[in-house]
Amino acid sequence: KGAVHRICAGQVILDLPSAVKELVENSLDAGATSIEIALKEYGEESFQVIDNGCGISPHNFKVLALKHHTSKLSDFPDLQSLTTFGFRGEALSSLCALGDLTVETRTKNEPVATHLTFDHSGLLTAERKTARQIGTTVTVKKLFFNLPVRSKEFHRNIRKEYGKLISLLNAYALIAKGVRLVCTNTTGRNVKAVVLKTQGSGSLKDNIIAVFGMSTFNCLELVCLCISDGCKVDGFLSKPGYGSGRNLGDRQFFFVNGRPVDMPKVSKLVNELYKGANSRQYPIAIMNFTVPTGACDVNVTPDKRKIFFSDEGSILRSLREALEKIYSPSHA
Ligand code: ADP
Ligand code: MG
């Protein structure tokens, strides 16, 4: 049974970025307005997500890390209209199987917080009172300790995984409005560096300035397009001639209804049209698609990064038309 549990756990948690992503999404689902991600040795030793969300009620402590436990489905009977990030109840149980999990949590109804320890099958093994503000802290140590091959890869590629993680956190920092997001990394003898910090402002503009700086923001222009019935795109794109020469995987961010997703086709389209204006450069792109909930399906892969539009062809066509206007020579 243990082995099956570990194999299945591999589906949501593939690497360090997907592990941290699940915790950050849980914090967002909990209504947090402040989320701190604290890494030790780039996440290799441990990672911790600290939030000021609603906390976890004591009646959920025992089942919290069991497979398929979720508190979110009962509140949202209709999967199509689901707006929370999680509902499969797999993240905490997977993390238990793949590392050492502890949780500290307190709701507004509790006078003190509780510190919870789980074993690798998701059973609650220890429970004690502790001091904490309302909210939740989830700590994972020794990720992948029990999967020799994955563990070896993890340690060998830690800087790459860390880079991917920061890029992913940038995506959440850009799109989360009214959420203060901080990421720190502690290395060596307690040298703690702030890697990312936003103020929890209400605008995408302020978030871009916090993440990339004012000088980058000045090279961008606002995009606001209606591309079909009930489907619009807003965000920012490099002004013609103001792209960056470096490989831009880390400066293109796509969202659907506020959820970070991969959109290789849109990325390709934007690069192609931009290159039409200037051949050696790639644009910075930060674009949020607002679409009716029925028009796309984000739940096809466990990590929810892939997205399918029911009418992708026409969305891409209208997008091309609209962007051609921005990047046509006459505009610049
Ligand atoms: P899911 O998010 O799919 O429900 P998870 O395994 O990620 O499943 O989390 C299980 C449950 O634990 C959630 O449904 C929620 O009730 C609770 N939970 C996890 N993290 C937090 C958090 N940061 N704040 C409040 N509740 C949380
Ligand atoms: Mg979750």
ipTM of this model? 0.99
Under the banding of pLDDT at 50, 70 and 90, the label for residue 190 is confident
Under the banding of pLDDT at 50, 70 and 90, the label for residue 70 is confident
- Third-level CATH fold of 220-326: Ribosomal Protein S5; domain 2 (3.30.230)
Q: What is the pTM of this model?
A: 0.89
Distance CA 108, CA 154 (A): 38
pLDDT over 90 percentage in the chain: 57
Q: Which ligand gives the minimal distance to the CA of 49? A: 1
Determine which residue's CA is closest to atom 8 belonging to ligand 1.
89
pLDDT of residue 25 exceeding 50, the answer is yes
pLDDT over 70 percentage in the chain: 83
Instruction: Give the pocket of ligand 1 (CB within 6 Å).
Output: 22, 26-27, 30, 51, 53-56, 60, 64, 69-72, 86-92, 136
* pLDDT score at 225: 86
Determine which residue's CA is closest to atom 15 belonging to ligand 1.
71
- Closest ligand 1 atom, residue 93 Cα: 6
Under the banding of pLDDT at 50, 70 and 90, the label for residue 242 is confident
- Closest ligand 1 atom, residue 55 Cα: 25
Distance CA 284, CA 294 (A): 29
Query: Ligand 1 pocket test: which of 48, 92, 104 has the largest number of ligand atoms within 8 Å of its C-beta?
Result: 92
Range from 123-127, 144-148, 183-187 carrying the lowest mean pLDDT:
144-148
pLDDT of residue 57 exceeding 80, the answer is yes
Structure tokens at 150: 């994955």
Residue 19 alpha carbon to ligand 2 centre in Å: 10
Q: In one letter, which amino acid is 319?
A: L
The domains of the chain are located at 2-197, 220-326
Determine which residue's CA is closest to atom 23 belonging to ligand 1.
27
For 206-222, how does the pLDDT look when each residue is reduced to its tens digit (9 = 90+)? 999 999 999 999 999 99
The answer to whether the 2-197 and 220-326 domains have the same CATH topology is no
In three state form, how does the secondary structure of 21-90 look? Answer: HHHHHHHHHCCCCEEEEEEEHHHCCEEEEEECCCCCCHHHCCCCCCCCCCCCCCCCCCHHHCCCCCCCCC
Query: Ligand 1 pocket test: which of 18, 70, 133 has the largest number of ligand atoms within 8 Å of its C-beta?
Result: 70
pLDDT of residue 3 exceeding 70, the answer is no
Q: Say if domain 2-197 classifies as CATH 3.30.565.10.
A: yes
